[in-house]
Structure 1
Amino acid sequence: MEWESSTIWYWIILACTGIISGVLGYFFGKSDTPLAPEKSIEINSLEIQNAKLKSDLETCKKRLDTYTTKTKQLNFDSAINPSKKKSFFFDAKEAKAAFGKTIKENDLKLVEGIGPKIEGLFHNFDIKTWKDLAETSADKCQEVLHSGGKSYRIHDPASWPMQAKMAYEGHWEQLFEWQEKHRAGKY
């Protein structure tokens, strides 16, 4: 009889331990997983970002194809007529159409981040055209800024040669879009 009562208690304790473990496991497992609506909102957000990135990629591919086609044509024209070199000309109407204001040829102030005083610093270094600035390294641009004193060192000229190249080559819409996207809090 004594043996039977200890066996019953053994099974009761074992069953209680299993039930308690199961309940605790369920609650611990449930607390670690985010709610389904939270996941779906995050997934939707990521899908939207992915769609935007795919759209941007397609736009870039189309622009690259257009640029490649134009470059091949220029190279073909140069091969046929070597005296005809790759040259760009300033089209004030196209520039005005993209920017909505009159643009003067080789105005370095068109580059986002360059004002009249910084333009003067570049002129002191004989950098007076978009082509000159496009062919200038970011390090050289930094050197020009340092020549103006401490107050000019806060500027970041990393994109200035790229912007100048877009202006020199007449890529007005791309330049305007780039500047709008990267405008440093100026409205």
Structure 2
Amino acid sequence: MNIPCILIPALIGLICGILGYLLGRMKCNTDDSLAMTLQADLDACQINTKNLQARISALETEMAARATITAAAQSFAVPTAAHLTFDPDLATDILGQKIKENDLKIVEGIGPKIEALFNNAGINTWYELSEASIEKLQVILDEGGENYAIHNPSTWAKQALFAYEGKWQELKDWQENLRAGKE
């Protein structure tokens, strides 16, 4: 039997086995460092999340405090309907038509159907209309359908405020410059 024919493959196998073992060990060490890096990133993200949650809580507390202060200030600053009296004779003299209190139709651009939409949405007075945002009014109109969605309520709150405050001449002057309730 020829010994070199047996010995050479055995030595090559042994060398390949040792190289495979060493390469595998090196690969495992690399995976451990990657896992350690990922764990460090995860820990940093968790700390950042806790910090952000604490900041959100602080901001929510601050917003609640400001809302309370704002509500308290508004309760003192905003006049209610009881403070302003409606003078139908003055309104009739200036506008040249008989006016009923809280008739939303005196607002240029609002007719009976739009008034009914607003009444159904909880806007029944000039004051409530004057406090409504343009976005809220547009949502009400959009929900009414295509025929109402085309209207532009951008001046309605200001017109309603004039009516609420009894500023009939200012309302009349401003309405003369409007076209279908638009500037």
Q: Distance in 1 between matches of 2:143 and 2:111?
A: 15
The 5 Å alignment of 1:46-85 reads none
Q: Is the 8 A contact 1:121 1:147 kept in 2?
A: no
Contact persistence 1:166–1:174 (CA under 8 A): yes
Q: 1:47-100 CA distances to partner (integer Å, 9 max, x unpaired)? A: xxxxxxxxxxxxxxxxxxxxxxxxxxxxxxxxxxx9xx6721100011011111
Quote the offset at 1:182 in angstroms: 1.1
Task: Give distance in 2, aligned partners of 1:131 and 1:184.
Answer: 21
Q: Which residue is equivalent to 2:133?
A: 137
| Aligned-residue RMSD, C-alpha | 1.8
Larger radius of gyration: 2
Corresponding residue number in structure 1 for 2:87: 91
In the TM superposition, residue 184 of structure 1 has moved relative to its aligned partner by 3.8
Question: What's the secondary structure of 1:98's corresponding residue?
Answer: helix
State the TM-score, normalizing by the size of structure 2: 0.53
Q: Distance in 2 between matches of 1:93 and 1:144?
A: 32
Distance 2:151 2:122 in 1: 20
- The residue that corresponds to 1:113 in the other structure is 109
1:147 CA displacement? 1.3
TM-score, structure 1 normalization: 0.52
Q: Which amino acid aligns with 1:139?
A: E
The answer for the alignment partner of 2:177 in structure 1 is 181
Alpha-carbon distance in 2 for matches of 1:102, 1:94? 10
Counterpart of 2:64 in structure 1 is none
Aligned length: 102
Runs of 4+ deviating beyond 4 Å: none
- C-alpha displacement of 1:183: 3.0
Structure 1 segments unaligned to the other structure (5+ residues): 1-81
What is the percent sequence identity of the aligned residues?
52
Give the Cα separation in 2 of the matches to 1:148 and 1:123.
12
SS in 1 for 2:177: helix
Deviations 1:81-138 (CA, angstroms, capped at 9, x unpaired): x9xx672110001101111111010000000000000000001111000011011001
Q: Does 1:101 align with 2:97?
A: yes
